[in-house]
Amino acid sequence: MTESAPPAPVSAVPPTGRLYGVGLGPGDPELMTLKAHRIITSADVVAYPVKKGAPGVAITIAGRYLNDGQVRLPLEYPVTTGTTDHPGGYDGALAEFYDTTAAEIAAHLDAGRDVAVLCEGDPFFYGSYMYWHERLADRYPAEVVPGVTSVSGAAAVLGRPLVQHDEVLTILPGTLPAEVLAARLRTSDSAAVIKLGKRHFPDVRAAFEEAGIAERTWYVERATTDRQRIEQLPDVAAGSVPYFALVVAPSASPGTPFATNRTPVEPVAEYAVPAPTGILGSVDVVGLGPAGPAWLTPEAHAALAAADDLVGYGPYVSRVPPRPGQRRHLTDNRVEAERARHALALAEAGARVAVVSSGDAGVFAMASAVLEAADETKSPVPVRVVPGLSAMQAVASRAGAPLGHDFAVISLSDRLKPWDVIARRLTAAAQADLAVAIYNPASKTRRHQVADARDLFLEHRDPATPVVVARDVGGPTEAVRIVALGDLDPEIVDMRTMLIVGASTTRTYARPDGTTGVYTPRRYPA
C-alpha cells in the first residue's frame, strides 16, 4: 500500500479579544440593560470617552458596577467644541484621536482581552463608539449592545408620547444651520433636536420659532438623572445649556389629552363659529399642491399643523391628515364667498384658520376669494397666502417643458365670467403666439367650451400644434397624452383634466421610454 503524505502543519493563530460597543442608556444606571450590565462587569478592559479634566459621563453611569480587577482605559478627547491648532482643524484632530485610541484598543484585543467601550444612550445613535467600530470591526469580532436613547428618556420624563398612529418622528442634530432645521421641522409631526450646548441652542430655538412650534416644545437636560431639568423651550436661558440636552416637540401639545383618549375628529357644521375669545386670530390660505403629500411645501405643512380650524371644499380638506383637536369645516365646491366669510369669522373669534385649495391658492383658487371678503367687510384679520405647486407646473413637468417660453393661463369656466370674455382672451393669446395653460376646461354640464376653444386656436395655429391633455396628475389614475390641436377630441376632457396648447415654436420629441414629450424653446425666432 502507498502511504499518504502527512498533513501540513497548521500555524496557530492566537485568539483575539472581543470588542463590545455598550449602550448605557440616557443616564439613570437602572436603565442599563441586563446584557450591558453582564458585559461591562465581565470585560477585561473597560474603555470610555472623556473630556479632558472632566469625570466622564459614561464611566459615571457604569462605575458602580465595575470591579478593581478590570483595566480602565480613558479615551481623552483632544477637543470637543472648542478650537484647535491641529493642521487638519477640528475634523483632523478628531480623526487622529480616533486612529490613536483605536490602536490602544487594538493592543488589548491582540493580547486576547475583551474590551467594552462604553457609550451614553445607544452606540449607533450619534454615539462616539461608531468611529472605533468602523476602524476595528473588520479585524476583530465585534458586538453592539443597544441602549435606551436620550430621546426615549426625554419622552419618558415628559410623560408624552413621541408619535402616535401614522405620525412621523424626525430627529435632527442641533449643529445644522437654523434655516435647515426650520425647514425640516415644518414637515415633522413630532421632532427631537439633540447635540445642543450653549453655542448651538439660540439657533435651535430660532428654528422652532420660525417653524411655528416653539410654544408646544420642551427642553430636557440630562434626562433620567438626578440633575435632570425640564422647561418649556421659550423659557430656557441660552447660556445654561449643556451638550447633554435636547429639545422635543412631542406628539400631543402640552396640556392636551393624548389622541388615543380622543374620539375621532368629526367635521363640524359648515358655518358654525365659536364664541369670541377677545383675541384676534389669523387666516392662512394654503395651496396643497395638485395631489399628495410629496407636492406639499414645508411652509404649507407648517400652516396646516398650526391651524385650529381647516376650511375648504370637502375633497381638499380630506387630503389633510386629521390632527388632535383640530376642527374641520367641509363645504361644497360652489360657495367660495361664503367659505371665505366663514374663515374670517372664525379668525375674528380667535382661531388660527387654514383655508385650503388644491394647487396654488392664488391661481383660480381661494386666495382671491378670502382677500375680497376681507376687503369688502373691512375685516381686521391678517390674511397670509401660502403658495403651493400649481396644476399647470405639475402638468408641464410631466409633459416636458411646454411652458418654457412666454405663456398665458386662462380658465374656460363661464360660471364667474361670460363666455364672450373667455373667447376674446383665447383669441388674443392665440394671436400673440403664446402657449396657453387651460384650467377648468369642461364639466358634466359645460361641454361646448373645449370644442369652441379648439376652433378659436385653429384660426391662428397649425392643426399639428401639440396639445398636452393631462388628467389627475399626481393621482392614482394619472394619464398624460400629447395630441395634435386639430385632433383634440372634447369627449376625452373633463373637470379633472388640464390642457396646455403649444405655441407655434412648441416641439415634440421622442423619449427613451417610447413616449412623446413636449417643450417650447426659450429662444423665439427673429
Residue-wise pLDDT tens digits, 393-445: 999 999 999 999 999 999 999 888 999 999 999 999 999 999 999 999 988 77
Which has the minimum average pLDDT: 215-224, 246-255, 327-336, 454-463?
246-255
Q: Each residue of 465-501: pLDDT tens digit?
A: 999 999 999 888 999 999 999 999 999 998 889 999 9
Which has the minimum average pLDDT: 31-35, 63-67, 222-226, 250-254?
250-254
Query: Residue 242: inside a domain, yes or no?
Result: yes
Query: Residue 124: inside a domain, yes or no?
Result: yes
The predicted structure's pLDDT at residue 380: 94
Amino acid identity, position 187: T
**Does 278 share its domain with 361?**
yes
Given the C-alpha cell 419622552, which residue does it identify?
155
Band (pLDDT 50/70/90 cuts) for residue 519 is very high
Band (pLDDT 50/70/90 cuts) for residue 5 is low
Q: Domain of 331: which CATH number?
A: 3.40.1010.10
Q: Domain of 502: which CATH number?
A: 3.30.950.10
Query: Residue 11: inside a domain, yes or no?
Result: no
> First CA to last CA across the chain, in angstroms?
100
Question: Does 93 have pLDDT greater than 80?
Answer: yes
Q: Is the pTM of this model over 0.85?
A: no
The predicted structure's pLDDT at residue 444: 78
Q: Each residue of 220-244: pLDDT tens digit?
A: 999 999 999 999 999 998 787 888 8
Give CA–CA dist 440/495, Å, rounded.
6
Q: At which of 389, 412, 439 does a domain end?
A: 389
Query: Residue 444: inside a domain, yes or no?
Result: yes
**Does 190 share its domain with 127?**
no
Mean pLDDT of the chain: 89
The predicted structure's pLDDT at residue 470: 95
**Does 192 share its domain with 279?**
no
Whole-Å CA distances, 257 to 337, 352, 525? 35, 20, 65
The predicted structure's pLDDT at residue 489: 93
Query: Residue 103: inside a domain, yes or no?
Result: yes
Phi and psi at residue 336, in whole multiples of 5°?
-60, -45
Give CA–CA dist 380/395, Å, rounded.
38
Given the C-alpha cell 386629521, which residue does it identify?
322
**Does 25 share its domain with 142?**
yes
The predicted structure's pLDDT at residue 346: 94
- Mean pLDDT, residues 497-506 taken together: 96
**Does 325 share its domain with 402?**
no
Give CA–CA dist 508/54, Å, rounded.
69
Q: At which of 105, 122, 147 does a domain end?
A: 147
Contact 447/416 with Cβ under 8 angstroms? Answer: no
The predicted structure's pLDDT at residue 256: 44
Give CA–CA dist 479/481, Å, rounded.
7
Q: Each residue of 266-281: pLDDT tens digit?
A: 566 667 777 777 789 9
Question: Does 73 have pLDDT greater than 90?
Answer: yes
Domain count, the chain: 4
In our burial notation (b when 16+ CB lie closer than 10 A, e otherwise), range 187-205 reads bbbbbbbbbbbeebbebbb
Query: Residue 257: inside a domain, yes or no?
Result: no
**Does 161 share its domain with 133?**
no
Cα angle 105-107-108, degrees, rounded to a multiple of 5 = 70
> Nearest-CA neighbor of 303 among 385, 227, 368, 221?
385
Whole-Å CA distances, 101 to 128, 227, 383, 465? 12, 30, 59, 70
**Does 188 share its domain with 273?**
no
| pLDDT cut 90: percent of the chain above it | 67
Q: Which helix (H) or strand (E) covers residue 62, if one does?
A: helix 57-62
**Does 366 share its domain with 404?**
no
Query: Residue 260: inside a domain, yes or no?
Result: no
Contact 115/43 with Cβ under 8 angstroms? Answer: yes
- Mean pLDDT, residues 311-325 taken together: 86
- Mean pLDDT, residues 175-203 taken together: 89
Q: Each residue of 172-181: pLDDT tens digit?
A: 999 999 989 9
Identify the domain containing residue 66 by its residue range: 19-147
| pLDDT cut 70: percent of the chain above it | 92
**Does 169 share its domain with 140?**
no
Question: Does 158 have pLDDT greater than 80?
Answer: yes
The predicted structure's pLDDT at residue 86: 76
For residue 2, what is its C-alpha cell?
A: 502507498
**Does 128 share its domain with 185?**
no
Q: Which residues pair with 401 in a beta bridge?
A: 519
The predicted structure's pLDDT at residue 10: 55
The predicted structure's pLDDT at residue 260: 41
**Does 57 share its domain with 134?**
yes
Given the C-alpha cell 449643556, which residue does it identify?
242
Q: At which of 93, 117, 147 does a domain end?
A: 147
Query: Residue 255: inside a domain, yes or no?
Result: no
Q: How many CB atoms lie within 10 A of CB 32?
A: 20
> Nearest-CA neighbor of 32 among 24, 22, 21?
24
Q: Each residue of 334-362: pLDDT tens digit?
A: 788 999 999 999 999 999 999 999 999 99
Write out 217-276 in H/E/C secondary structure: CEEEECCCCCCCEEEEHHHCCHHHCCCCEEEEECCCCCCCCCHHHCCCCCCCCCCCCCCC
β pairing state of 327-331 and 383-386: unpaired
**Does 46 share its domain with 127?**
yes
The predicted structure's pLDDT at residue 387: 95
